[in-house]
């Protein structure tokens, strides 16, 4: 099941285990069970602390396996084979069940342990989803720390009947005690915040008490991370406030244009960025969304949606961008019920079904190509009279037998039966005729929208909503700089955002040192 190199790496990791691990596999004679047996045999061969037993309980998902340690009360189970992106989740689960301490703060650990149950979580994931591991790993950890918490991670592609029955149309999808709880990328802090209703108020009170920052960076993507590192290296008080670390990059699958790195994945790059930032004396404040910015005689004030206020002498806006929506009837109603924005994550849930891709740029055409290998048919709809993707991608697309391309078409409505998507409506921009396409899924790939709504009426914005900056990253407000995808800087690329973030931090530092120094106190006569 596992190749020799992977087994060698796994053996090294499992040397950190300090207590025995007991795995109970629920299997039968199916191919999936045979594959699971092979995986578990490999695990046993990598550590003498792992013991595997088998059972065949029809009331338990098959194939699946539970992890525990003798004398502990841990309720953690994988439904299916956690390979692909989820192999890391399996390795971390083994380490944590085996006594290896988690890499989270003592405060978060205490919050998890204080949660009252029973809390029975189920997470549906796909092996191709780069966002799923964060959720799976967070809930696995919570199950290890708190006996009142149970977690089952379920491969949606393997348990299609259950996916259909529970109407799971996007991953990661989390259920709590049988009811929908959340969807999308989340970490431990975010999950705990949803469960602990008083956490937000307590955190806001802490933030209000913080001393003013020399440089406060709003946003934790590549631009924000670079700005934080460059500012901290100057020895000035630096803070980063962000809803989540990594921003849009965390949702990116393959990255092959980051100079000096042949290829990587978004989550890996985000983890490296955060690790680098935390090597410096940077105050990182997560799960916070900016609400307003004011400038006065006493400096800058950033108001957060939590109600907290942070003060700063200078500020770098690096809030990035988000997926652009179609803004047509039915889109919001059927979000995660057939309307999706990540083909890599949600594509496997539409195996054998009919889908549409909206957008004929590189992202849209790449999505159509990927989906064509999974679904029964792809309809690509482009507003313009021709596709805008690179020629090599168009040639690949046109070679696929199960893809239909419709140009000069404006999507006007997402159709559904009240529970899920069953079609879309578009208008032919040449004839004006309206058409309907019967399908089960719609993947929107029409670009990005800057996260600048909170700045309207405060700083100068372009017609596209981008923060207007000069060559130094300066905005229309003195002492306020901006960088990355939220700005008018051309070419929205990771490496460019990092350069712009570094430049903005240097400009902020230059601004600070040029401020009038206070007059020295006069000596008494």
pLDDT reported for residue 409: 97
pLDDT reported for residue 68: 97
pLDDT reported for residue 103: 87
Return the ∠ at Cα 248 (arms to 256 and 306), rounded to 5°: 160
pLDDT reported for residue 342: 85
Of the two residues 244 and 503, the one the predictor is more confident about is: 503
- CA dist., res. 148 & res. 222, Å (int): 38
- DSSP code string of 468-488: P--TT-B-SSTTEEE-GGGBS
User: Does the pLDDT of residue 524 top 60, yes or no?
Assistant: no
- What pairs with residue 358 in β-bridges? 381, 444
Query: Residue 491: CB partners within 8 Å, gap ≥ 6?
Result: none
User: Does the pLDDT of residue 521 top 80, yes or no?
Assistant: no
Q: Which residue has the tokens 């400038």?
A: 295
- What pairs with residue 438 in β-bridges? 423
- CA dist., res. 78 & res. 89, Å (int): 10
pLDDT reported for residue 414: 97
- CA dist., res. 241 & res. 218, Å (int): 5
pLDDT reported for residue 519: 60
- DSSP code string of 126-139: -TT-SSHHHHHHHH
Expressed in angstroms, the distance from the first to the final Cα of the chain is 86
Cβ burial 186-197 (10 Å sphere, 16+ → b, else e): bbbbbbbbebee
pLDDT tens digits for range 7-64: 999 999 999 999 999 999 999 999 999 999 999 999 999 999 999 999 999 999 999 9
Q: Which residue from 285, 95, 275 is spatially nearest to 189, judged by alpha carbons?
A: 285
Q: Which domains does the chain have, with CATH numbers?
A: 4-196 (3.40.30.80), 202-322+449-513 (3.50.50.60), 339-446 (3.50.50.60)
- CA dist., res. 502 & res. 490, Å (int): 16
Q: Which residue from 147, 153, 283, 267 is spatially nearest to 228, judged by alpha carbons?
A: 283
- CA dist., res. 425 & res. 383, Å (int): 13
User: Does the pLDDT of residue 522 top 70, yes or no?
Assistant: no
pLDDT reported for residue 435: 97
Q: Which residue from 53, 42, 40, 49 is spatially nearest to 4, judged by alpha carbons?
A: 42
CB 366 within 8 A of CB 253: no
- CA dist., res. 158 & res. 43, Å (int): 21
pLDDT tens digits for range 288-313: 999 999 998 789 999 999 999 999 99
Greatest extent of the chain over all pairs of C-alpha atoms, in Å? 97
Q: What is the CA 16 to chain-centroid distance, rounded?
A: 28
pLDDT tens digits for range 348-366: 889 999 999 999 999 999 9
* Order of strands across the sheet that contains 403-406: 339-340, 441-444, 354-358, 377-381, 403-406
Give me the helix-helix angle, 188-195 and 199-208, nearest 10°: 110
Task: Catalogue the active-site residues.
Answer: 342, 345-346
- CA dist., res. 37 & res. 49, Å (int): 17
Average pLDDT in the chain = 94
User: Does the pLDDT of residue 336 top 70, yes or no?
Assistant: yes
pLDDT tens digits for range 179-223: 999 988 899 999 998 998 788 888 899 999 999 999 999 999 999
- CA dist., res. 210 & res. 255, Å (int): 37
Q: Which residue from 245, 249, 217 is spatially nearest to 495, judged by alpha carbons?
A: 249
CB 125 within 8 A of CB 156: yes
The alpha-carbon radius of gyration of the chain (Å, integer) is 25
CB 159 within 8 A of CB 80: yes
What are the distances in angstroms from CA 334 to CA 220, 343, 420? Answer: 29, 16, 6
- CA dist., res. 499 & res. 315, Å (int): 17
Q: Which residue has the tokens 């929205």?
A: 492
- CA dist., res. 475 & res. 316, Å (int): 9
Q: Give the pair of three-digit tokens for residue 51.
A: 């013991």
User: How crowded is residue 438: how many other Cβ atoms within 10 Å of its Cβ?
Assistant: 10
CB 63 within 8 A of CB 36: yes
User: Which pTM does this prediction carry?
Assistant: 0.80
- CA dist., res. 424 & res. 200, Å (int): 40
Q: Which long-range contacts (CB under 8 A, 24 or more apart) does 88-91 make?
A: 88/133, 88/137, 89/133, 89/136, 89/137, 89/140, 89/153, 91/10, 91/13
pLDDT reported for residue 260: 94
User: Does the pLDDT of residue 383 top 70, yes or no?
Assistant: yes
Lowest mean pLDDT among 178-187, 419-428, 508-517: 508-517
pLDDT tens digits for range 456-491: 999 999 999 999 999 999 999 999 999 999 999 998
């Amino acid at each position: 099941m596992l190749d020799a190199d992977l087994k060698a790496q796994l053996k090294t990791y499992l040397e950190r285990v300090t207590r025995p691990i007991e795995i109970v596999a629920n299997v039968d004679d199916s191919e999936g069970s045979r594959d699971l047996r092979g995986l578990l045999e490999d695990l046993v061969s990598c550590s003498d602390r792992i013991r595997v037993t088998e059972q065949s309980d029809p009331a338990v998902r098959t194939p699946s396996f539970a992890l525990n340690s003798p004398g502990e009360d841990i309720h953690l189970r994988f439904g299916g084979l956690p390979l692909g992106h989820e192999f890391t989740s399996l390795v971390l689960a083994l380490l944590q069940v085996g006594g290896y301490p988690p890499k989270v703060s003592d405060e978060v650990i205490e919050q998890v342990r204080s949660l009252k149950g029973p809390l029975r979580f189920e997470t549906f994931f796909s092996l191709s989803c780069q966002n799923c591991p964060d959720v799976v790993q967070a809930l696995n950890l919570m199950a290890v720390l708190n006996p009142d918490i149970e977690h089952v991670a379920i491969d949606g592609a393997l348990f299609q009947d259950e996916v259909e029955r529970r109407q799971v149309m996007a991953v990661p999808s989390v259920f709590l005690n049988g009811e929908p709880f959340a969807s999308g990328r989340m970490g431990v802090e975010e999950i705990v915040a949803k469960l602990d209703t008083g956490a937000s108020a307590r955190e806001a009170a802490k933030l209000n008490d913080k001393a003013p920052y020399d440089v406060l960076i709003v946003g934790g993507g590549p631009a924000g991370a670079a700005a934080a590192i460059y500012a901290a290296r100057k020895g000035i008080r630096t803070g980063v406030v962000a809803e989540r670390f990594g921003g849009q990059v965390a949702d990116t699958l393959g990255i092959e244009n980051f100079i000096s790195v042949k290829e990587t994945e978004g989550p890996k790059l985000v983890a490296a960025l955060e690790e680098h930032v935390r090597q410096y004396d940077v105050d990182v404040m997560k799960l916070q969304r900016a609400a307003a910015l004011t400038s006065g005689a006493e400096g800058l004030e950033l108001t957060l949606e939590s109600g907290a206020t942070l003060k700063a002498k200078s500020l770098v806006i690096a809030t990035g961008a988000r997926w652009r929506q179609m803004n047509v009837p039915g889109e919001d109603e059927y979000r995660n019920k057939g309307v999706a924005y990540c083909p890599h994550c949600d594509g496997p849930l539409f195996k054998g079904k009919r889908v549409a891709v909206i957008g004929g740029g590189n992202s849209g055409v790449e999505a159509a190509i990927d989906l064509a290998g999974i679904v029964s048919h792809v309809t690509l709809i482009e507003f313009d009279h021709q596709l805008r993707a690179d020629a090599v991608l168009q040639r690949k697309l046109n070679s696929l037998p199960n893809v239909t391309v419709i140009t000069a078409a404006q999507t006007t409505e997402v159709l559904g039966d009240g529970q899920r998507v069953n079609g879309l409506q578009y208008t032919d921009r040449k004839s004006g005729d309206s058409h309907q396409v019967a399908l089960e899924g719609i993947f929107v790939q029409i670009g990005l929208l800057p996260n600048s709504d909170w700045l309207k009426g405060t700083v100068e914005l372009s017609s596209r909503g981008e923060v207007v900056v000069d060559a130094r990253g300066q905005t229309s407000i003195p002492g306020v700089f901006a960088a990355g995808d939220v700005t008018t800087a051309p070419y929205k690329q990771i490496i460019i955002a990092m350069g712009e973030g570094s430049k903005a931090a240097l400009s902020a530092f230059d601004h600070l040192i040029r401020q009038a120094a206070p007059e020295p106190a006069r000596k008494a006569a």
